[in-house]
Amino acid sequence: MKSGLDYRNKLILAPMVRVGTLPMRLLSLEYGADLVYTEEIIDWKLLRAERHTNEVLGTVDYIDTTDGTVVFRTCPVERERVILQIGTASVERAVAVGKLVQQDVAAIDVNMGCPKDFSIKGGMGVALLYDLPRAKAILEALVQAVTIPVTCKIRVMPDPDETVQLARELQSTGISAIGVHGRTKTERPRDPVNEDAIARVATALHIPVIANGGSQSITRRHDVIKFTQRCSTTSAMVARAAEWNCSVFRPDGPLPLDDVIRRYLELSVRYDNSPSNTKYCVQMMLRSLQETPIGRRLLDSQTMQQICDIWDMGEYCRETQLRYHYAGIKGRRACRPRTLSVSDETGKDGSEPAASKKQCIEEVEPSEPLIEENICFIRSNFTDDKELPKSKLYLHAIRGGLPRAQYEVEQKDKLFRAIIRFDGQRYTSSFWEKNKRYAEQAAALVCLLTRGVESRDELIRNGAMLPAKKPTDGESCLESSIAESISVQHTMISASNLDFKEEGKSC
């Protein structure tokens, strides 16, 4: 039996890529949104993730075990009000995702409105509107397979009659509601929203219709309500207006932007949001203010610590990150390739484990030891290319009359590690990088550290290494570990900056 979720008379945070992550969803609910959508998550990303209960944060995390990426994070605060939007073109994958996540979300939405090329080429998003049999099959299968409501979000067609007929066909699958963005697949936010087309759909259907696309006329909650009235709906979802200032949902009117940013940062630190995602969302809030001194400071920031310092929240960030670190929170430094992360026990099918949990690139001959340090390469630490670790090691070799270093790189899943052969020794980092270049640079840092060219204290200070031990009795935990806290933040930004897909707005 389906759980109940009433989509009538609701003000909703629309799905937005890179914006609809946990801190923004929670802040929107706090300010008065009734429901919140996640950013669109592609089905296969969820299917290759593992569900973990994060006891430190009090969250449920879906983790891509090949690179440590948090694909989806949620918490009990939003459990009954969060709708997971998926991008899919497959009945089988859609159903598998639905069964996987239904215990953690209030409903599932299928994206049938994204006009981006990456979505259309995969048969997802707005492409489904032009493949009605597939669209209906996905919705029908989901409705039958899960115990929570299923919805979809579409764009209007150039012909209003065609839009109404399409919406009726989708309604027949048993979905609980439908979101309608009042622009066609070729129109963009600067184009006027077709409120009449939304109204025609709302009048023709018996399920709730959620109006979308009115941000140009929305600056406060009352504007959202007027938008629903013009569209003959009782509910609306807000994208860009909420992205700019999500206190737009407040009954008492929006708050000053600095207040919103501070509260957003507080939630981002509280829920260990990635620095790059946090930075992006704050940039979207600042808009034209990115050219101000504060905006330029944000542009130059690389860590959560640096972002929070701009709004006088640095101490809160340091203390929270330090507490999480010693509580055992796992970050990129805990990431291992899947082939090196299996249990030491035999598998359920009786097969032998692929490898032990201990990291190793290969079996090392006793006569050829491998010198290893847990060092990551953070590109923002090197403003001058001549100071890059590989360049520095090359000059070190020339000055010492030594042969050039030789690099060997191993890839497992989506991660990379390198071995350097230099002056009769081998060097590597135990930190798995997300591309070959960074792996080589990290290994070069290990070599430079071992040979005394780089300082351990400096590497700890700039976040490339963690301190070797916790503070001793009598030491100030904060004083002795501030570098460790910063290091954790640098590590997160170096990992999370690399593979965001093209940003988009509400589809």
Looking at residue 345, the DSSP 8-state letter turns out to be S
Radius of gyration of the chain (CA): 25
User: Is the C-alpha dihedral spanning 128, 132, 134, 139 positive or negative?
Assistant: positive
Three-state secondary structure readout of 100-159: HHCCCCCEEEEEECCCCHHHHHCCCHHHHHHCHHHHHHHHHHHHHHCCCCEEEEEECCCC
Looking at residue 2, the DSSP 8-state letter turns out to be P
- The CA distances from residue 371 to 143, 187, 247, 305, 427, in Å, are 56, 57, 53, 32, 5
Q: E strands of 189-309, at which residues?
A: 209-212, 235-238
- The CA distances from residue 245 to 83, 179, 220, 240, 297, in Å, are 21, 22, 9, 9, 20
Quote the CA–CA distance of 129 and 341 in Å, as a whole number: 41
β-pair type (150-155, 69-74): unpaired
List, edge to edge, every strand of the sheet that includes 415-422: 370-373, 425-429, 415-422, 406-412
Match 């009538």 to its residue by tokens: 8
Q: Quick check: helix, strand or coil at residue 190?
A: coil
Quote the CA–CA distance of 202 and 231 in Å, as a whole number: 8
Give the residue numbers annotated as catalytic, written as ranges: 114
The residue type found at 106 is: A
* Number of CB atoms found within 10 A of residue 225's CB: 14
* Exposed e or buried b per residue across 400-412, where buried means at least 16 C-beta atoms within 10 angstroms of its C-beta: eeeeebebebbeb
Partners of 373 in beta bridges: 429
